[in-house]
Amino acid sequence: MNNWSVGAEVGTTGYGGSVSYRFHDNMALTAGYSGFTYDDIDYDTDNADYEGDLDMDVYGVTFDYFPFGGRFFLSAGVVKPDVVISVVGGPKGNQSYKINGTTYTPQDLETLQGDVTLDDSVQPYLGVGWRGSHKSGLGMYAKLGAFLTDAKVNIEARGIPEAAANIPQLREDIQQEEDDLQDEADKYGIYPVAVLGIEYTF
């Protein structure tokens, strides 16, 4: 077997495409890219109301094993996710923040700004799928899987009066807010992959 497949896809990692080379009845190599942006994320904590923008790019290479020589395959490989959420936090109900037990008004602290980076390094990927690359022509394909993420959170205070900028309590409270957001982000250490695509096999 010596079949090439080129496809376009949509799924939980965004919009993209893939190229697959099935060099044996039971084996193939696949490379792909997907990504998207989303500008309307709302996330509220007990301390602040956050709005964010998401920018995702995911590159991947996998080895696909077709145990029965047909359409079903098992997949293992690596992905390089580049996922950044830029966030701006405002006071609860536009009234005040309460961070680490301390209350701050908008006059004390204008906004909390920062980003959440889900990953920017190579991570392992495992999955299963279905594609008709053993036959020439137009067809559909689907993939289900997951890859690991390693979130990093960075939060800074903006709009602080000069007299308050170096108050130790304020710095401690902002660090606590960052730590709390880091704990929330750490709960999502696995990113699910669900993809549906259309392809042409040569």
From residue 87, alpha-carbon distances to 43, 48, 90, 111, 125 in Å are 9, 11, 10, 10, 28
Mean pLDDT of 115-129: 90
Whether residue 82 is predicted with pLDDT greater than 80 in this model: the reply is yes
Q: How far apart are CA 117 and CA 120, in angstroms?
A: 8
In the three-class reduction of DSSP (H, G, I as helix; E, B as strand; rest coil), residue 134 is classed as coil
- Give residue 201's pLDDT band: very low, low, confident or very high (50, 70, 90): very high
- Write down the pTM of the prediction: 0.85
Beta strands 49-65 and 152-158: pairing type?
unpaired
| Residue predicted with more confidence, 106 or 21 | 21
| Residue predicted with more confidence, 25 or 48 | 25
Model confidence pLDDT, tens digit, residues 156-194: 888 777 655 557 788 888 898 899 889 988 888 899 999
Average pLDDT, the chain: 90
67 in the Ramachandran plot: left (φ > 0), alpha (ψ -120 to 50) or beta? Answer: alpha
Give the number of other CB atoms < 10 A from CB of residue 31: 14
